[in-house]
Amino acid sequence: MKIGVLALQGAFREHEEVLGRLGIRTVEVRKPDDLHGCDGLVLPGGETTTQRKLAKTYGLWDPLARLGGRGMPILATCAGLILLATRIDGEAGSSLGLLDIDIRRNAYGRQVFSFETSLSVGRTAETAGRADPFRAIFIRAPRIVRTGPAVSVLASHAGEPVAVEQGNILGLTFHPELTPDPRFHTHFLEIVRRAAASREEGKPGRDSMETAVGNHP
């Protein structure tokens, strides 16, 4: 298994470290060719506008949209989640639009208002064989203000969803890579394994994924 980690800006190395501890090979994605052979993709936290601009500059934006649309598993955290949302701050068209949620950026305020809290993580806990709360770190976190009918809520804080899943996508408003608890990464790897099993059963597979990357500059 090989997981690509978008490495344009933000907390990509921390995700690589967590996946490495789980025995997973990672590749830093900075250009379209880096996506070849990836079984899944991580979109890390950071600065949304910068990540969007660099992804377009380096020709990654359209391949990311095609791969996500064709079923590549994606773990998106904080800024990465914002990039996937249907609407950002009530506006459409500035994101990849792969996850049926509306999101509000920096909804908890400036960095000084960052916080930690314990989350009941339900199915994610079951995947990793643990039932204790997950200690989540929120840093200039967005808020999910709407979820579509196909979106499952895996965890909430103060009555609002903070971890969601839709098909091949796992989206978190917090930073699981900054804790020693690997449960959300473990759950993501299960999504990757399910996608691989589906390909083996004759559903869209590696060839269609490689076509989706294309040959872009």
14, 157, 177, 185: the catalytic one is 177
Neighbouring-strand partners of residue 45: none
**C-alpha to C-alpha distance for 105 and 153, rounded to whole angstroms:** 19
Residue labelled with tokens 């339900």: 122
**C-alpha to C-alpha distance for 25 and 216, rounded to whole angstroms:** 24
CA angle 70, 105, 145 (to 5 degrees): 75
Active site residue 38: no
Active site residue 200: no
78, 165, 185, 187: the catalytic one is 78
Which candidate, 175, 142, 116, places its Cα nearest to that of 48?
A: 142
Active site residue 187: no
Helical (H) or strand (E) element with 83 = helix 79-84
CA angle 95, 115, 6 (to 5 degrees): 35
15, 157, 175, 185: the catalytic one is 175
Handedness of CA 95, 40, 172, 20 (dihedral sign): negative
| Beta strand spans in the chain (E) | 2-6, 25-29, 40-43, 74-77, 85-88, 91-92, 99-104, 115-119, 134-138, 143-147, 152-157, 160-166, 169-172
Indicate which residues carry an active-site annotation. 78, 175, 177
